[in-house]
């Protein structure tokens, strides 16, 4: 075996080991990563030539979860991993976001960053190792890249911030924060939080940023020893002479007039007209026509950025901190369990809530040591008609999965406990119209939809996004409240923050530049706090101020009781006979957990109560003197057997049937009779012994 280099450092109580040159030698860059016993193979590869006919950087990021890494065999018939899990998709997005801005803007070669999880130590999260591995594999490769960058995760348990928390701390703590940094600036923030105050969130962000500086020093040492020279590439930048020619045909004033309108459709029509003029003018220049779309994009971008930054003028005429027109509505969809619609300018989201028994929770076969069940599911859909386009639906892509997860993360902290509200909950956000920050509109719509459905959330949650336009220096910038699509496309940042009045529940930050100063981060968090407070007070609260007292008429009703776990077998019965009999008699649905929680779900209160009584009867420790209602199920010469609960029988001796002496049981009882009996204890054979004649007056009865 050829020689390879090993680099190590101590990081948050565990050893981080990086092997270079040991594996994956045909990739442009490869890092064999070990953090504790968590092992990830990270590679970076690029194509030799740029991809033709595209106007974007074709970066692909893969995070592959292999169940052998936790000693599992995949479920299902196939017994091999299928498509990427939701967690794998979300991890790929978190790796992509800080890396993408550090590649050259005019680079069109295909690049793939691949991360293969080989083993998992519960003390060291594999997602973090993959983030670091991708950065190291890329920066030591010959692929053009303005790194290094590094990522740190911060958790919080009992108010204490923890660097790179283990799986248990991450899962059960009050903060899940990932922060990526370059040498000087923060480049990515992703967070889920249990109403963490803004000042505490800033403290956590810059704790991670400080740790990242230590990691970057470590990465620089690796690059110094094994880094490869960056290869040259074919630039896809727009020629200066083409830009000059465009400005002679379409003046800056004309472009400004074309893009500065609050109607997206009008703006797009204006750009189509400009494109047609330029296509006609450049008809004899094929090489320019191939770059025309990108050139017009760059012209639009420079125009919008100049007007915002220098003239403080936004495309739709709003003030810098002004939010677009807002509307909120609930109960617009009949028969569903809950619905709400939230509109912000030309962004419109309708969220539908569905309630179901806990057995409908989503089961996740992932890298967690224990199988994970998701009680709350938020799904987000983005159809092509929402942006005036036409294309077939092929199911949710990475963007839809990411937006759904962000809204889910924002709402989890305010959901009631399973004990207080024993339902599985699904919210689906349908995008009816889109022009900026649909993910945060879905947070607002979902919060109202949950309240309309009678889900007792502790507080409403609102979300808003702010943008950024920067100039030549760090001090030359403007933070924009409530960015629309054009400001997102041409701006430098999409900073999404969701939360309650009392704190932040989710953050997602995307940027297109090489990082943000602390002043920008602080202003962005303060700006979103002010905006979401306005949305909560002025729009959402007047629409629906608190959760409804009970679930709606079409939602299933659930009654839950606790039984002794040792009695579960009695309720279920042999091969499920007892519980199936209860279900058959009452028409309800019954879920029983391993710890003895019994949930009865149905739509008829009488049948639900009947099922609960049956369960209670089955698990009761019987005492002499208890009264029961039962059915005659068998008649013998010596007495009758009474079923007083599904699968539970006791005997009434012939001498205990009537006050007077009877010759045979059939003189008084027939099969199917409904009788009231009193418990006499257990007979010599251990069977329940009953009496009919000793039932107190007024409670006696035999119904034929």
**Where along the chain do its domains lie?**
5-155+195-226, 240-311, 326-543, 557-619, 627-703
Indicate if 326-543 has the same CATH topology as 5-155+195-226. Answer: yes
Lowest mean pLDDT among 224-233, 322-331, 368-377, 507-516: 368-377
Q: Quick check: 373 pLDDT over 90?
A: no
Q: What would the pLDDT profile of 100-121 be if each residue is shown by its tens digit? A: 999 999 999 999 999 999 999 9
Nearest residue to 675 via CA among 614, 627, 618: 627
Would you state the CATH architecture of domain 5-155+195-226?
A: 2-Layer Sandwich (3.30)
Q: What would the pLDDT profile of 117-154 be if each residue is shown by its tens digit? A: 999 999 999 999 999 999 999 999 999 999 899 999 99
Please tell me the predicted confidence (pLDDT) of residue 2: 60
Please tell me the predicted confidence (pLDDT) of residue 371: 59
Mean pLDDT value across the chain = 91
Regarding predicted confidence, which is higher, 662 or 336? 336
- For the chain, what percent of residues have pLDDT higher than 70? 98
Burial class from Cβ neighbours inside 10 Å (0-12, 13-18, 19+) for residue 148 reads buried
Q: Quick check: 1 pLDDT over 50?
A: no
- Mean per-residue pLDDT for 456-483? 93
CA 468 – CA 492 distance, rounded (Å): 5
Q: What would the pLDDT profile of 58-96 be if each residue is shown by its tens digit? A: 999 999 999 999 998 887 788 888 888 999 999 999 999
Q: What would the pLDDT profile of 337-346 be if each residue is shown by its tens digit? A: 999 999 999 9
Please tell me the predicted confidence (pLDDT) of residue 334: 95
Evaluated on CA atoms 372, 75, 122, 163, the torsion sign reads negative
Q: What is the pTM of this model?
A: 0.86
| Residue 704: how many other CB atoms lie within 10 Å | 9
The dotted CATH code for 326-543 is 3.30.230.70
CA 439 – CA 599 distance, rounded (Å): 34
Q: What would the pLDDT profile of 257-313 be if each residue is shown by its tens digit? A: 888 887 778 888 888 999 998 988 888 888 888 888 888 888 888 888 888 888 888
Regarding predicted confidence, which is higher, 703 or 305? 305
Regarding predicted confidence, which is higher, 129 or 698? 129
Nearest residue to 328 via CA among 446, 430, 464, 410: 446
CA 621 – CA 625 distance, rounded (Å): 12
- For the chain, what percent of residues have pLDDT higher than 90? 56
User: Could you tell me the fold of the domain covering 240-311?
Assistant: Arc Repressor Mutant, subunit A (1.10.10)
Q: Quick check: 320 pLDDT over 60?
A: yes
- Mean per-residue pLDDT for 670-687? 83
Please tell me the predicted confidence (pLDDT) of residue 370: 60
CA 571 – CA 599 distance, rounded (Å): 12
Regarding predicted confidence, which is higher, 162 or 485? 162
Which one-letter DSSP state was computed for residue 223? H
Q: What would the pLDDT profile of 546-594 be if each residue is shown by its tens digit? A: 999 999 989 999 988 889 898 898 889 888 888 998 899 898 999 898 8
Q: Quick check: 201 pLDDT over 80?
A: yes
Evaluated on CA atoms 106, 399, 412, 323, the torsion sign reads positive
Please tell me the predicted confidence (pLDDT) of residue 427: 98
Do the bridges between strand 674-682 and strand 688-691 make them parallel or antiparallel, or are there none, so unpaired? antiparallel
Would you state the CATH architecture of domain 557-619?
A: 2-Layer Sandwich (3.30)
Give residue 207's pLDDT band: very low, low, confident or very high (50, 70, 90): very high
Q: Quick check: 406 pLDDT over 90?
A: yes
**Alpha-carbon distances of 676 from 108, 413, 632, 643, 690, rounded to whole Å:** 84, 50, 10, 11, 10
The dotted CATH code for 627-703 is 2.40.50.140
* Residue 306 neighbours by CB under 8 Å, 6+ apart: none
Q: Quick check: 703 pLDDT over 60?
A: no
Q: What would the pLDDT profile of 613-630 be if each residue is shown by its tens digit? A: 888 878 877 777 888 888
Which one-letter DSSP state was computed for residue 594? T
User: Could you tell me where the beta strands, DSSP code E, fall in 474-538?
Assistant: 477-481, 493-499, 504-511
* Residue 506 neighbours by CB under 8 Å, 6+ apart: 191, 192, 193, 406, 407, 409, 410, 443, 463, 496, 497, 498, 499
């Amino acid at each position: 075996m050829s020689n390879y280099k090993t680099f190590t450092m101590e990081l948050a109580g565990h050893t981080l080991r990086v092997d270079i040159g040991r594996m994956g030698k045909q990739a442009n860059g490869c890092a064999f990563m070990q953090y504790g016993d968590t092992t990830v193979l990270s590679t970076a590869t690029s194509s030799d030539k740029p991809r033709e006919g595209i106007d974007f950087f074709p970066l692909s990021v893969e995070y592959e979860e292999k169940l052998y890494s936790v000693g599992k065999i995949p479920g299902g018939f196939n017994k091999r991993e299928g498509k990427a899990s939701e967690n794998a998709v979300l991890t790929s997005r978190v790796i992509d976001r800080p890396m993408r801005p550090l590649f050259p803007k005019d680079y069109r070669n295909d690049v793939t960053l691949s991360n293969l999880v080989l083993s998992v130590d519960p003390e060291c999260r594999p997602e973090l190792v993959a983030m670091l591995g991708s950065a190291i594999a890329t920066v030591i490769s010959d692929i053009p890249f303005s790194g290094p960058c590094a990522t740190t995760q911060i958790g919080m348990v009992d108010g204490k911030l923890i660097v790179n928390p283990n799986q248990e701390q991450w899962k059960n703590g009050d903060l899940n924060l990932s922060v990526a940094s370059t040498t000087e600036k923060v480049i990515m923030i992703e967070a889920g939080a249990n109403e963490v105050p803004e000042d505490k969130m800033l403290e956590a962000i810059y704790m991670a940023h400080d740790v990242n500086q230590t990691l970057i020093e470590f990465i620089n040492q690796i690059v110094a020893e094994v880094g490869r020279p960056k290869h040259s590439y074919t630039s896809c930048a727009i020629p200066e002479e083409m830009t000059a020619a465009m400005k002679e045909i379409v003046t800056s004033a004309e472009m400004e007039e074309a893009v500065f309108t609050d109607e997206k459709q009008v703006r797009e029509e204006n750009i189509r007209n400009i494109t047609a003029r330029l296509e006609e003018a450049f008809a004899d220049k094929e090489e320019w026509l191939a770059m025309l779309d990108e050139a017009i994009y760059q012209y639009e971008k420079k125009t919008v950025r100049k007007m915002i930054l220098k003239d403080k003028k936004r495309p739709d005429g709003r003030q810098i901190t002004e939010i677009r027109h807002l509307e909120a509505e609930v109960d617009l969809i009949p028969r569903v369990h809950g619905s709400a619609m939230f509109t912000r300018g030309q962004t419109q989201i309708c969220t539908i809530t569905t309630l179901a028994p806990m057995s409908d929770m989503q089961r996740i076969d992932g890298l967690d040591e224990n199988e994970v069940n998701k009680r709350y599911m938020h799904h987000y859909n983005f159809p092509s008609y929402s942006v005036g386009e036409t294309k077939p639906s092929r199911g949710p892509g990475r963007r839809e999965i990411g937006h759904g997860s962000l809204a889910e993360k924002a709402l989890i902290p305010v959901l009631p406990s399973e004990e207080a509200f024993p339902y599985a909950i699904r919210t689906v956000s349908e995008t009816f119209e889109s022009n900026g920050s649909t993910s945060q509109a879905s947070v607002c719509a979902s919060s109202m939809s949950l309240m309309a459905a009678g889900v007792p959330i502790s507080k409403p949650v609102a979300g808003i996004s702010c943008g950024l336009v920067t100039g030549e220096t760090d001090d030359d910038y403007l933070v924009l409240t409530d960015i629309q699509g054009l400001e997102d496309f041409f701006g430098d940042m999409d900073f999404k923050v969701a939360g309650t009045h009392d704190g932040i529940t989710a953050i997602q930050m995307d940027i297109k530049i090489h990082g943000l100063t602390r002043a920008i981060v602080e202003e962005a968090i303060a700006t979103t706090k002010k905006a979401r407070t306005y949305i909560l007070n002025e729009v959402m609260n007047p629409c629906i101020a608190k959760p409804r007292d009970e679930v709606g008429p079409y939602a299933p009703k659930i009654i839950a009781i606790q039984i002794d776990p040792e009695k579960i077998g009695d309720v279920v019965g042999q091969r499920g006979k007892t519980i199936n009999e209860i279900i058959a008699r009452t028409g309800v649905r019954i879920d029983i957990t391993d710890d003895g929680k019994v949930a009865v779900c149905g739509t008829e209160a009488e049948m639900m109560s009947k099922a609960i009584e049956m369960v209670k009867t089955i698990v009761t420790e019987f005492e002499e003197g208890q009264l029961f209602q039962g059915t005659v199920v068998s008649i013998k010469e010596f007495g009758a057997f009474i079923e007083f609960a599904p699968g539970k029988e006791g005997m009434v001796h012939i001498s205990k049937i009537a006050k007077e002496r009877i010759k045979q049981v059939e003189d008084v009882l027939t099969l199917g009779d409904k009788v009231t009996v009193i418990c006499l204890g257990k007979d010599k054979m251990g069977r329940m012994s009953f009496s009919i004649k000793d039932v107190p007056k007024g409670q006696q009865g035999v119904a034929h």
